[in-house]
Structure 1
Amino acid sequence: MSIKAKHFSSPAEASMARAEVQLREAAVRITAARVKVLATLLDAQRAFSHQDMQDAFTDMDRVTLYRALDCLTDAGLAHKIAGDDRVFRYSSGAEHGVAQDDAAPHHQHGHFKCTRCAKVFCLDSIGEAGLLRNALDESLGKGFQSHDIEFTIKGWCADCAQQR
């Protein structure tokens, strides 16, 4: 029976099951911390900082959380977003780029950052890696090779815009 066909008593159980499947498919050792962190990222509507995660997981020590986030990032199950405030934020999802030379997949989409509350949201739908690579070729010419595409649109998220 597939994950989709199973009936879970709660959305949290379904997210934990999805996280376990993704860890298994990525050939990553399944630990309670990794499952918990990945399940949370899978359900998130925005990227979370380490501190956001630490506040949510008061029962998990900081080092375990750092290691879980690093493992998920290395496996391509999550990605790390560098903010202007020098705080990394994490979001779920396999990276959209293509791995080369057995390297980890590349981060190939943009982000929206709210300048009021500092929340960061992934822009997967407009971050089509092929379109971005084509734009790079047109702007710079053939021969340039990108390994990461990083762009950020800044503005106000829906919640902050309503507070105006």
Structure 2
Amino acid sequence: MPQVQNDNRFEHLLDHHHLKKTGPRLRVLSMMSSKNTATSQPDLENLMHDVDRVTLYRILNVFEEKGIIHKVFDLNGTANYAICHSNCEEHNHQDEHLHFNCTVCNNVYCLNDLNLPSINLPAGFKAENFTLYASGLCPKCSKKENKK
């Protein structure tokens, strides 16, 4: 099991969203923040053997509702979760960035630093959220591919 730190920023984040600071919640945040890719519930289940599936589902659900994490789907349709930027609010996600799906390792990356084009919707349309996907090879898989 990976090393997990109980970080004060996670306690502050839970306080900010009026959530109890439970061990499983703090561990989920720590595990998710330690990765540079989005994480699926099955991946978290494999790391957190002492937390049952229903509890983990509820943690992910409340974190998404509160704007702590956002959901992104991989190429297989599996929901993955990543920590939101600090400007997300309850029921109002601001994580409008490119999500990159690697076609080899199946990891999902949030590419937050890219400038996205503005989208002008036709009259009468109102976007409530926005998701942009790209797929291909991540740097690690691309490097392996080039060595062949």
Give the TM-score, by structure 2 length.
0.84
Who is 2:99 aligned against?
Answer: 111
RMSD between aligned residues: 2.2
Who is 1:38 aligned against?
Answer: 29
Who is 1:77 aligned against?
Answer: 68
Aligned length: 142
Give the TM-score, by structure 1 length.
0.76
User: Does the residue aligned with 1:80 lie in a helix, a strand or coil?
Assistant: strand
- Within 5 Å, give how 1:123-134 maps onto structure 2: 123-126=111-114, 132=117
Matched, 1:146 2:127: yes
Deviation of 1:16 (Å): 2.8
**Structure 2 Cα separation of the partners of residues 123 and 29 of structure 1:** 30
**Structure 2 Cα separation of the partners of residues 142 and 29 of structure 1:** 43
Q: Is the 8 A contact 1:113 1:119 kept in 2?
A: yes
| Aligned counterpart for 1:161 among listed residues 138, 142, 145 | 142
**Structure 2 Cα separation of the partners of residues 95 and 104 of structure 1:** 14
**Residues 86 and 150 of structure 1: CA distance in aligned 2, closer, same or farther (over 3 Å):** same
Question: Which letter maps to 1:114?
Answer: C
Runs of at least 5 residues in structure 2 that lack an aligned partner in the other structure: none
**Structure 2 Cα separation of the partners of residues 87 and 95 of structure 1:** 25
* Larger helix proportion of the pair: 1
Deviation of 1:17 (Å): 1.9
Q: Percent identity between the aligned chains?
A: 28
**Residues 105 and 54 of structure 1: CA distance in aligned 2, closer, same or farther (over 3 Å):** same
Who is 1:28 aligned against?
Answer: 19
User: Does the residue aligned with 1:74 lie in a helix, a strand or coil?
Assistant: helix
